[in-house]
Amino acid sequence: MKEEITRFAPSPTGHLHLGGARTALFSWLFARNKNGKFLLRFEDTDRERSKKEYEESILSSLSWLGIEPDENPIFQSNNKELHQELAFSLMEQGKAYSCDCSSEQLRKMREDQIKNKLQPRYDGFNRDMNLPHKEGNVIRFKMPQSGKTLFEDKILGNISVENKELDDFIILRGDGNPTYNFCAAIDDLNMNITTVIRGDDHITNTLKQINIFKSLEAKIPNYAHLPMVLSKSGKRLSKRDGAIDISDYRKSGYLKETLINYLVKLGWSYSDQEIFSKDELINLFSLESVNSSPAKFSEELINFYNNHYLNSLNIETIYKLIEEEYELSFDIKSNEHYLEILKLLREGAKTVLDLIDQIRFFYETPEYEDKSKELINLDIDTIKSFALCIKDLDFKNLQNLESDIKDYLTSNNLKFPQLGKPLRMILSGRENAPSISQLLFFLGEQESCRRINLFLNN
Ligand code: GLU
């Protein structure tokens, strides 16, 4: 069987966003599942909007996610001469033609069509004029005028259009620059792409590109269009709904494992399994099991995955990530229990940034809100008496410390919250923090005493 070759073809006019990353992931998984190849092509023909910085950022996001192309990226702009040659060759073969319709003429054509309730399109004025090509003229592709263009989408099923609905689109602009639909089809052909996977906003482009393949008598690749990702309320996904760039997710403390699992769930599922390793995904992935209706973005789900991976990854991995990717205002290693502290607090953390914020009080003296101060002051005598006995607790061992505190409560006839609540607030500045014995133990005797005295003396 022929080797499957897929590609991801971003335009480097922005960073890699959620939708783009999903397309890349599905193409990559499909290729891996088929033991085929996954290629990357930068569609950088828009010289004004394409930026090196975006190429680099897309590459870095893909590499962070582990979606690596099997060959060096292709730059579409390098193929410009070939695109131009082929446009002229189609014209010589009578499959395309030179057109000198002015923008004024086109505007009028459009207005008349709208007035007559017709679909606005180029009406073929120059199609049979055989105009000699000259600078400033565009080259238009001769679309078949009867019959249908159809293909079997690997996700959406049969898609067809009456050819009379399609117009003679421009393949080479007046300034000599080839257009997207022409370049994409030629490059897919030259890269031997067997399956094109992209968003369903490209369906009309596919219908045009199929006709380019036909005119070149080339084998038409398979196409699979991914339904779009909608916001929770069913609208087009905007930045506010979570359509942020992959680099932003990374910066705000989402793990790559989370993003892979989450992205794949935006349209693909396997029974009711929620968590997949990359190898499992490679084994299980198929285009047939991609949902043909739009996926919905869910902040709860992405946070669920992130909390899951924060808690299931090796704690050393989490520590290294914090050390390598985030700037901290404290020295995490200054507390010898830093790994245990991370383990303890990751349970409730949503993101790495959240985790960093959660552990902060172990390193920096907490600040107290007025409400907390009032609450602590209700039990201030309990705290004062406890401060006098703190030196008798065994700080060397967590279990011993725990039982010493229990004994202290029993012998002083105290219920746990009477001491626990104010003490937790003094030590951490928060109401929800780990247990008292864990707080005392990880802060150590000296720091615990310092914080209690600081509070009492203020
Ligand atoms: N460059 C196009 C885009 O970023 C993708 C085209 C394609 O996949 O064919 O939307």
Structure tokens at 242: 């979570």
Q: Which of 11, 25, 77 to mutate to test the pocket of ligand 1 (most atoms within 8 A of CB)?
A: 11
Residue 164 lies in a domain: yes
Q: How confident is the model over 61-119, as pLDDT tens digits?
A: 999 999 999 999 999 999 999 999 999 999 999 999 999 999 999 999 999 999 999 98
| pLDDT of 240 above 90 | no
Structure tokens at 96: 């395309």
Q: Which residues pair with 17 in a beta bridge?
A: 245
Number of domains the chain is built from: 2
Domain that holds residue 143: 86-172
pLDDT at 433: 84
Give the CATH number of the domain where residue 167 resides. Answer: 3.90.800.10
Residue 121 lies in a domain: yes
Identity of the residue numbered 397: N
Residue 331 lies in a domain: no
Q: How confident is the model over 12-60, as pLDDT tens digits?
A: 999 999 999 999 999 999 999 999 999 999 999 998 999 999 999 999 9
Q: Which of 43, 187, 212, 228 to mutate to test the pocket of ligand 1 (most atoms within 8 A of CB)?
A: 43
Indicate which residue's Cα is closest to atom 3 of ligand 1. Answer: 10
Among the candidates 172, 204, 237, a domain finishes at 172
List pocket residues of ligand 1, CB cut-off 6 Å.
Answer: 9-11, 43, 184, 198, 202
Residue 4 lies in a domain: no
Strands 138-141 and 170-172: antiparallel
Residue 161 lies in a domain: yes
Among the candidates 122, 151, 172, a domain finishes at 172
Indicate which residue's Cα is closest to atom 8 of ligand 1. Answer: 9
Confidence of residue 160 (pLDDT cuts 50, 70, 90): very high
Residue 280 lies in a domain: no
Largest CA distance in the chain: 105
Residue 226 lies in a domain: no
Neighbouring C-alpha atoms within 13 Å toward the C-beta of 5: 17
pTM above 0.85, yes or no: yes
| pLDDT of 319 above 80 | yes
1 and 34 in contact (C-beta within 8 Å)? no
Report the C-alpha gap between 103 and 417 in whole angstroms. Answer: 79
Among the candidates 121, 149, 172, a domain finishes at 172
Nearest to 36 by CA among 205, 272, 204, 287: 287
Q: How confident is the model over 129-158, as pLDDT tens digits?
A: 999 999 999 999 999 999 999 999 999 999
Residue 41 lies in a domain: no
DSSP helix/strand/coil, 290: strand
Give the CATH number of the domain where residue 374 resides. Answer: 1.10.10.350
Q: How many A from CA of 156 to the centre of ligand 1?
A: 18
Answer positive or negative: Cα dihedral of 360, 366, 369, 372: positive
Q: How many A from CA of 187 to the centre of ligand 1?
A: 12
Nearest to 356 by CA among 250, 252, 247: 252
